[in-house]
């Protein structure tokens, strides 16, 4: 059985096509479009140009899905469409133009499904997970592989950049403003605890691992120490030429949002006294596939 998933994020829109066989979900194909929907939002409203951009990307991805035999298509959005005032208008446009129904995940469901997706690939009993997205951040404390607490932040890497940074890289004053905002959000959300390991999903976490691996000669981008992440963060804040060059080589699309995203991770890891990070290969997209298939009796 093949399943197509379109994930509409604040920064990127991703298409994954999976095959499910003998209890295992395997990725057949993936495509990413850096649509940057958040840049089309003014006064908490997605502009008409932004709606047209969304429709163009969805039309292109739909053509790809239709060329592959599939039994189900899941299209969902997170903070990209959840946090705007004209959500229903956007959904109506997409339905009228493409006959596509978009499911809007609330932040709790986003966190829960991301956690469930993590458990599909990582065997860990307790700790914290973090999903730093473009428009929001979801944090979970879990014990015995069960969610104990959820902490939700209203900002992600791209929304912090969009709100606080005027150029490509934040100035010293802009960095201080971002750090202050993140500290306040973590405090207001009640994030607390202590953990050796943080399990991460999302583009920021993957970028930290990828860039650190190349910069520091690590064997594996999916496992890194918070010390390495702190060193990378410090280098980027200082606009170190080697660090910036490596980001441009490894994750050029993240050059403007990596520092804001890393600020969230830096503040979180310090508050939890975390020492190690595991980057999960699976997350929200896999979590929603399994839940949909189970609910429809297809597993």
Residue 90: pLDDT over 80: yes
pLDDT confidence bin for 296, thresholds 50/70/90 = confident
| Assigned CATH topology for domain 2-105 | Nucleotidyltransferase; domain 5 (3.30.420)
Give the pLDDT confidence score for residue 124 in this predicted structure. Answer: 94
Evaluate whether 260 touches 175 at the Cβ level (below 8 Å): no
Give the pLDDT confidence score for residue 69 in this predicted structure. Answer: 87
pLDDT confidence bin for 51, thresholds 50/70/90 = very high
The CATH class of 122-279 is alpha beta
Residue 38: pLDDT over 90: no
pLDDT confidence bin for 36, thresholds 50/70/90 = confident
What is the C-alpha separation between 67 and 61, in angstroms, rounded? Answer: 10
Give the pLDDT confidence score for residue 258 in this predicted structure. Answer: 97
| Fold agreement between 2-105 and 122-279 | yes
Show the beta-strand stretches assigned E in the chain.
Answer: 2-8, 13-21, 24-33, 41-42, 45-46, 72-77, 103-104, 127-132, 137-143, 146-153, 197-201, 223-225, 276-279
Residue 298: pLDDT over 80: no
Q: How many CB atoms lie within 10 A of CB 61?
A: 21
Give the pLDDT confidence score for residue 23 in this predicted structure. Answer: 78
What is the C-alpha separation between 7 and 79, in angstroms, rounded? Answer: 11
Domain residue ranges of the chain, discontinuous segments joined by + = 2-105, 122-279
Mean pLDDT in residue range 119-143: 95
Residue 297: pLDDT over 80: no
What is the C-alpha separation between 108 and 80, in angstroms, rounded? Answer: 15
pLDDT confidence bin for 52, thresholds 50/70/90 = very high
């Amino acid at each position: 059985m093949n399943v197509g998933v379109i994930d509409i994020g604040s920064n990127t829109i991703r298409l994954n096509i999976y095959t499910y066989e003998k209890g295992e979900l395997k990725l057949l194909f993936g495509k990413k479009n850096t649509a940057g929907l958040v840049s089309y939002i003014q006064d908490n409203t997605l502009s008409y140009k932004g709606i047209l951009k969304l429709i163009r990307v969805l039309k292109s991805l739909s053509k790809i899905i239709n060329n592959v035999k599939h039994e189900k298509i899941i299209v969902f959005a997170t903070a990209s469409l959840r946090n705007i005032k004209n959500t229903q208008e956007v959904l109506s446009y997409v339905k009228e133009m493409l006959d596509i129904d978009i499911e809007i995940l609330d932040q709790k469901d986003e966190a829960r499904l991301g956690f469930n997706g993590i458990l599909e690939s990582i065997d860990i009993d307790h700790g914290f997970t973090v999903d730093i997205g473009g428009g929001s951040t979801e944090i979970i404390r879990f014990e015995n592989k069960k969610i104990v607490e959820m902490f939700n932040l209203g900002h992600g890497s791209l929304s912090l950049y969009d709100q606080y940074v005027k150029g490509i890289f934040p100035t010293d004053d802009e960095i201080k403003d971002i750090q202050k905002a993140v500290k306040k959000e973590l405090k207001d959300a009640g994030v607390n605890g202590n953990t050796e390991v943080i399990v991460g999903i999302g583009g920021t976490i993957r970028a930290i691992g990828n860039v650190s691996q190349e910069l520091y000669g690590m064997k594996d981008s999916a496992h890194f120490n918070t010390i390495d992440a702190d060193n990378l963060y410090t280098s980027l804040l200082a606009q170190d030429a080697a660090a910036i060059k490596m980001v441009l080589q490894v994750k050029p699309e993240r050059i403007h949002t990596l520092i804001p995203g890393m600020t969230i991770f830096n503040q979180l890891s310090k508050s939890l006294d975390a020492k190690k990070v595991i980057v999960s290969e699976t997350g929200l997209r896999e979590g929603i596939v399994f839940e949909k298939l189970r609910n429809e009796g297809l597993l």
